[in-house]
Amino acid sequence: MTIDLHTHSTASDGTDRPAELVAKAAAANLSVVAITDHDTTAGWDEALGALPPGLTLVTGAEFSCAYDEPDGTRISLHLLGYLFDPDHDGLRAERARLRVSRLGRGRAIVDNMIADGVPVTWNRVVEIARGGAVGRPHIARVLVENSVVASVDEAFAALLSSRSKYYVPKADSDVFKAIGLVRDAGGIAVFAHPLARRRGAVVGEDVIADMAQAGLQGIEVDHPDHAPDDRARLAVLAGELGLIGTGSSDYHGTNKTIDLGTCTTSRAAYEQLRSLETARQPVTR
């Protein structure tokens, strides 16, 4: 059983339409795939409608969150929500707020670049996003198109890094509020890539313990952005805190170089997730 619980489609910053995503998941011999676009459930219906026989779909989303350190530093982090009720008012309103913020923030990053003479236009970013939740990978594609950089990776290493002078943060959700909303909507709350240090500062283990106290149920252990010793430590931490340790590729199509099923969730961990009470159930045709 190959289980990949974190992927993106064109509903956010992936490059496969939801129907293509599930077709590729079946072709890659996955048994279970989760669709977890940033701050949206817009890909769910198309993925469900195109679900190949034998493949199980877990509906989810990846929420843009932040943790404020006591010294005032803000750390951005991602929370996966699985099998929640998409019609839960509070969580739906929060997703809408995050998507609106992505638009203003994406535009502000582009404006900063234009002011500095970088050839990029907001119209082209919106065209490339094709109605999906706008993210930095869409801006990166325009930068590649206009030969400012050679690849999306290069764009992230330089102009689009959180340390770049063009960078503008998003209006993220407070992570404790987001955990509460996901749980209230009948979902499972899993901390995505807790130690993805390449993206910026990460929270300490004390904060992960506080998140567990607040209702967090799992953490991603095996993730492409985690070094081997970080994976080992997270597996131990999951045990200590009673959290389910998951694994995923965080597939983004050609916006990243990681294939479906690159990192996976064990059958035992998946069974533990399945044993939790949820508003929705995984779907198999």
Q: Which residues bind ligand AMP (CB under 6 A)?
A: 13, 38, 135-137, 152-153, 156, 252, 255-256
Closer residue to ligand AMP (CB): 16 or 55: 16
Closer residue to Zn ion (CB): 43 or 212: 43
Least gap, CB of 138 to ligand AMP (angstroms): 8
Residue 250 sits in the site that holds Fe ion (CB under 5 A): yes
Residue closest to 36 by CA, chosen among 59, 18, 66: 59
Closer residue to Fe ion (CB): 113 or 243: 243
Residue 136 touches which member of ligand AMP, Zn ion, Fe ion, none, C-beta under 5-8 Å by kind: ligand AMP
Q: Which of 78, 99, 141, 226 binds Fe ion (CB under 5 A)?
A: 78
Residue 37 sits in the site that holds Fe ion (CB under 5 A): no
Least gap, CB of 211 to ligand AMP (angstroms): 20
Closer residue to Zn ion (CB): 13 or 94: 13
In this chain, which stretch among 49-57, 61-69, 80-88, 141-149 interacts with Fe ion, using CB under 5 A? 61-69
- Spatial contact of 56 and 31, defined as CB atoms under 8 Å apart: yes
Residue 153 touches which member of Zn ion, ligand AMP, Fe ion, none, C-beta under 5-8 Å by kind: ligand AMP
Residue closest to Fe ion, measured at CB: 78
Closer residue to ligand AMP (CB): 101 or 278: 101
Residue 231 sits in the site that holds Fe ion (CB under 5 A): no
Least gap, CB of 68 to ligand AMP (angstroms): 18
Closer residue to Fe ion (CB): 62 or 230: 62
SS3 of the chain: CCEECCECCCCCCCCCCHHHHHHHHHHCCCCEEEEEEECCCCCHHHHHHCCCCCCEEEEEEEEEEEEECCCCCEEEEEEEEECCCCCCHHHHHHHHHHHHHHHHHHHHHHHHHHHCCCCCCHHHHHHHHCCCCCCHHHHHHHHHHCCCCCCHHHHHHCCCCCCCCCCCCCCCEEHHHHHHHHHHCCCEEEEECCCCHHHCCCCCHHHHHHHHHCCCCEEEEECCCCCHHHHHHHHHHHHHHCCEEEECCCECHHHCCCCCCCCCCCHHHHHHHHCCCCCCCCEEC
Residues of the shown chain interacting with Fe ion in the complex, contacts defined by CB under 5 A: 62, 78, 192, 250
